[in-house]
Structure 1
């Protein structure tokens, strides 16, 4: 376990190095007040829960033995903060048994890697801030924008290959590029984790330098395997589904576009 953690620390260090802790998870909490108020869906049996989870990129379910616990109120209070997350509640003993729930528990389900993550905090004493942070950290989607919170969830994913689209979100090509990038992400669901890195942010400079990319080479794709730290890059003039697919397939098949993949000096793998 210690070795596996060490393999991930290098890029984790670069992703978090220089990021001030107060950076918010922009885009994760997407409510602008214009959407209709949503309420958690009541899930009465296993089949309903299975369908609910399968229909959402990120689903958060409160498994409660009764609805009188204070955690239920906290759960309801944060629903409006995450308009792009599906919330559900179940008190069914059949459902709790199916998902190995033995007490009041809040779980997050991710479509991207089929993970069930249970809130490790004491649910009986949970507050809105801690619950909100748990969701922000672990809400991985088909394409996840990395920041000081999501980076933890990215490296806790079961998926060991990460593809990064490094481009300026302020560019005119951004919206169309993201549309194509998301389409490509569906082709590699469960195999490659798709990430967006905003090259317009100064704090992302260390990451760009790690992949030996110059500003003149952006936008670019960078692919990275956490288990052995192999990586490759591809500067792009325009993104397309076919281009992304070919680049990913090449990496999966052992083909590399770059001759030298190792940085001249690796930052020390420090405990974070």
Structure 2
């Protein structure tokens, strides 16, 4: 079962990194230190009933996205969570609490997130819920992030949306000012970046292979997309001493000691990504930011 973490609603907004003025490591230091509260786990897969898979797909892709799924027992809740990369569930002791309508009000804004509601006492007990709580479940690092107590009581649509946006980490997460909060607060210490222009004609095919490679490192490496066509991402790219002529590229970063390495590529190949990650995990090719200038320069602009 996912590790339950109590989250403060106000923290992410006050701690959000300024991606226009900070490099990747500067953002990392500002964000990771205050909230190293997550544990490194990964969700065990289970066989899903066709009904649950169909309902989850409908909640993400079709008209059903307007209505949260009612979860009446533990098995239904477990299958619902396991079938989604990111799921948000309102656990309520009373179906008449105002937060029920609050969840309904934000569902339409998150087409890629599965929403559910449960008032069943056995379900609440299974997930260690002792009061009205809104929980976000994340497949990529097996986290259960809880909004409860005072944070639940002061919840409104804006705060709930902010909470979901900042913690919406996926198999491959696009880096921006909002997702940076969740990325930098994760206890997974290694980040692999695909730095590539999303406007490229080869982007979709390369992204698909990058997603396939991400499945090889569950709970060990966060896979991140950085759009090199976005001006606000220039600081993050410059941290790795990469020039535009060297893109697309892979950049791998260890958050605990700022060690990193890069690999300019022409296309994403699953085996190439796997070898690059395996080498870094074994300590090969590690570099530190203050040593980069002494390294042999690559292609100049």
Question: Which whole-Å CA distance do the structure 2 matches of 1:16 and 1:218 have between them?
Answer: 26
1:1-272 residue pairs with structure 2 within 5 A?
11=24, 13-14=26-27, 35-38=62-65, 39-119=67-147, 122-256=151-285, 260-263=287-290
* Contact kept? 1:65, 1:103, Cα under 8 Å: yes
Equivalent residue, structure 2, for 1:21? none
SS in 2 for 1:195: strand
Q: Structure 2 length normalisation: TM-score?
A: 0.75
User: Mind listing any 5+ residue stretches in structure 1 that lack a counterpart?
Assistant: 1-7, 18-33, 266-272
| 1:96 to partner: Cα distance | 1.0
1:185 and 1:49, CA in 2 relative to 1: closer, same or farther beyond 3 A?
A: same
Tell me, in whole angstroms, the C-alpha distance in 1 between the residues paired with 2:209 and 2:255. 25
TM-score norm. by structure 1 comes to: 0.83
User: What is the aligned-residue RMSD (CA, Å)?
Assistant: 2.2
Count the aligned residue pairs: 240
Q: For the Cα contact (< 8 Å) 1:110–1:116, is it kept in 2?
A: yes
| Shift in Å, 1:10 | 7.1
**Cα gap change, 1:115/1:204 in structure 2, threshold over 3 Å: closer, same or farther?**
same
- Assess if the C-alpha contact under 8 Å between 1:16 and 1:148 holds in 2: no
| Counterpart contact for 1:78–1:128, Cα < 8 Å | yes
Q: Please say if residues 89 and 135 of structure 2, whose CA atoms lie closer than 8 Å, have aligned partners that are also in contact.
A: yes
Displacement of 1:158 in angstroms is: 2.2
The alpha carbon displacement at 1:15 in A equals 7.3
C-alpha contact 1:12 1:151 (8 A) present in aligned 2: no
CA contact (8 A) 1:37 1:80 kept: no
**Given the superposition, is the C-alpha separation of residues 232 and 12 from structure 1 closer, same or farther in structure 2, using an over 3 Å criterion?**
closer
Q: CA deviation at 1:184?
A: 0.5
Q: Is the 8 A contact 2:258 2:288 kept in 1?
A: no
